[in-house]
Structure 1
Amino acid sequence: MSPTADEAAASAVALAIERGVTVATAESLTAGMVAATLADTPGASGMLQGGVVAYQNAVKAGILGVSEELLSAVGSVDAGVAAAMADGARRACGADVGVSTTGVAGPLPHDGKPVGTVFIGVATQGGAAAHAYSFRGDRPSIRAQATAAALERLLECLVHADLPHVK
C-alpha cells in the first residue's frame, strides 16, 4: 500500500536531511500543495529550498525555462513539460532535486487531455524524468492524489538516485 502524502513527506524530509540533499518544487494543478505538505513536516527547513506555482504557461516558460515551442506543440499537460518544470525548479531554487506536477483536475478536459490526467516530474543534476497517472474523482481528490504521487516520486528519487551529497 502506498504511503499517505504526510507519510511520504515525513520520510522524504528525514531522508533528504540525512543525506544533505535539497529539494525544490514546481506546481501547476497542485498550486503549492506539494511544498506545503513538505513544509508541514518538522525539519523541512533543512531541505526545502523553495517552490514555484506555475499555473500559467507564461510562468512555466519565463520562470522555469520550459520551452515555449514545447508548450505550443503539446500544451501544458505533458510528460516533457513535467520533466522540464522539475528541472527548472531545481535550477531556479539551487536545489539538488526538483519535483513538479502538471495535469487536469477538472471539471473540464484541458489541452485535449481528460480530467484526471497527471504528470509528475523529477529532476536531478543527472537528468529529468516524468511519470504519467490517471486519477479518478472530483477536483480536490485529483489534486490530493497528485500531491501524494509527487511526494512518493520524490521519496523514490531520494532512496534510489545517485545524488550529490549522498552518503
Structure 2
Amino acid sequence: MRAAQVVRQLTERGETLAFCESLSAGLASATIAQVPGSSAVLRGGLVTYASDLKVALAHVPQEFVDEFGVVSAEVAAAMAKGTRLVCDATWAVALTGVAGPDSQDGHPVGEVFLACAGPEGVEVIRAENDTSVQALCEVESATIKVLSGQRNEIREQAVECALQLLLDSI
C-alpha cells in the first residue's frame, strides 16, 4: 500500500525517486517497481551491499566508513545524498543495517538506519530490534515500527519503514 502511495504522490508532484540499498539489496526498488505507473517516478538505484561500493558508487566519503562504520546515520545520510546526485532524482532513500542472522561490527540484528534526501535536505531515522525507534538528525517523530523477526522479515520491514519515511518527507 505504501508503495502505491509513493508512486501516486510523486507522480502528482512530477518528482522522481532513487534508492541506495545495502541490507535490502534491491528490495525497495523492486517494491516500487511492482506498482503500475512506477516508471514515471522510479529513476533507478544502487545496490551497495559491499562497503567499497558505498564509496565508489554512492560517493560516501571513505572517512565516514572508517570513522562511523557502514551501519550509521552518517553513512546512511551520505548514501542518500550521493544517490540523489548520481541518479538525478528529486528524492533518494538509503537503507543500511543488520538483517542477520548475526550481529555485525557490534551492531545487533535489526539495527537499521534509513535516510531520505530531498530538495530540503536529509532526514535519518534509526530502528532497532528490541527498542523503540529513536529519531536522529532532523526527524522529530517517526511513525515507523520496530524491526524484528528473521532476516527477510527485517529486510521487508526496513523497506516499509523507508517508504514511510519518504511519505513523511514529501
C-alpha RMSD of matched pairs (Å): 0.8
In 2, are the aligned partners of 1:76 and 1:111 still within 8 Å (CA)? no
Whole-Å separation in 1 of the counterparts to 2:169 and 2:113:
16
Identity %: 43
Q: Which runs of 4+ in 1 moved over 3 A?
A: none
Alpha-carbon offset, residue 131 of structure 1: 0.3
The runs of 5 or more residues in structure 1 that have no matched partner are 1-6, 159-167
Matched residue SS, 1:50: strand
Q: CA deviation at 1:112?
A: 1.2
TM-score, L = length of structure 1: 0.89
CA distance in 2, matches of 1:116, 1:87: 23
Count of matched residue positions in the alignment of Structure 1 and Structure 2:
152
1:109-159 per-position Cα deviation (integer Å, ceiling 9, x unaligned): 11211000001100013321210001211101110100110111111112x
Relative CO higher for 1 or 2, CA cutoff 8 Å, sep ≥ 6?
1
* Cα deviation digits, residues 44-79 of structure 1 (max 9, x gap): 000011100000111100110101011011111001
Distance (whole Å) between structure 2 residues aligned to residue 111 and residue 123 of structure 1: 26
Listed one character per residue, the Cα deviations across residues 11-34 of structure 1 (whole Å, up to 9, x for unaligned) are 010000000011100000000000
Q: Work out the CA distance in 1 between the residues paired with 2:73 and 2:62.
A: 15
Which of 60, 65, 88 lines up with 1:94 in the alignment? 88
Q: How do 1:1-167 and structure 2 match up within 5 A?
A: 7-134=1-128, 135-158=147-170
Letter in 1 for 2:8: A
TM-score, normalised by the number of residues in structure 2: 0.87
